[in-house]
Chain A
Amino acid sequence: GAGVSQSPRYKVAKRGQDVALRCDPISGHVSLFWYQQALGQGPEFLTYFQNEAQLDKSGLPSDRFFAERPEGSVSTLKIQRTQQEDSAVYLCASSLVEASYSNQPQHFGDGTRLSIL
């Protein structure tokens, strides 16, 4: 389809393992966002890309979290040395234009549900 695609849909990892979550934004969308949604909570902002440039990573909870978008399309969120508190749904969103001072809506994928045992 033409929406934001995330993979895998579910990921189970043991504490201490590294994981990588993928996001394919809507084709041609300039802006890409990652959010973390804990159970029963609203999503929380993690990071923002404009094309390949990571302009804001203020929401990343620790230096174990790393995101990249090397060619300005697909993005990967990597979590190193996972811990139980990393268990959450990770949502990716994209929007058509540069996001600052824009009233374009963000289009969300279905997320990756990460469970750390």
Chain B
Amino acid sequence: KQEVTQIPAALSVPEGENLVLNCSFTDSAIYNLQWFRQDPGKGLTSLLLIQSSQREQTSGRLNASLDKSSGRSTLYIAASQPGDSATYLCAVTPRGAGSYQLTFGKGTKLSVIP
């Protein structure tokens, strides 16, 4: 069964710092990997989706990388802002049947201090 782990569980940084969030998964047979943001009491917002054949995706100050063979992904946030404070969730979908089923980690709660 696929397991997704996110480290650290919580992170606090001063405004302006660059930071990296980590995600690991146990089964490398994935279809894609997604990073989501969740604000308190809200649903999930998709940030980046990396197909299994890709190595990275970029959107604005966000860059996500994927190393499928080692079962790792990182989300890099440049020049962090207080508005980036949220919980960041990593999720993978399996290759093959059920390729739409997202398996999530527990998330990293990020606090950016002004």
- A residues neighboring B (CB under 8 Å): 4, 31, 33, 35, 40-45, 48, 56, 58-59, 91, 93, 95, 99-103, 105-111, 113
Contacts and interface: CB of A to CB of B under 8 A. Distances in A.
A110 B42 contact: yes
Contacts, number: 62
A45 B46 contact: no
9 contacts: A4-B43, A43-B44, A45-B102, A56-B98, A91-B43, A99-B100, A103-B51, A106-B46, A106-B100
B101 interface: yes
Contacts of A95: 100
For A35, A43, A48, A101, which residue has the most chain B Cβ atoms within 10 angstroms?
Answer: A43
Contacts of A31: 100
A102 B106 contact: no
Contacts of B62: none
Interface in B83-101: 89, 91, 98-101
Tell me the interface secondary structure of chain A in the complex: loop
A111 B89 contact: no
Contact of A58 (B31, B42, B91, B98): B98
A111 B101 CA distance: 18
Contact of B44 (A44, A48, A91): A91
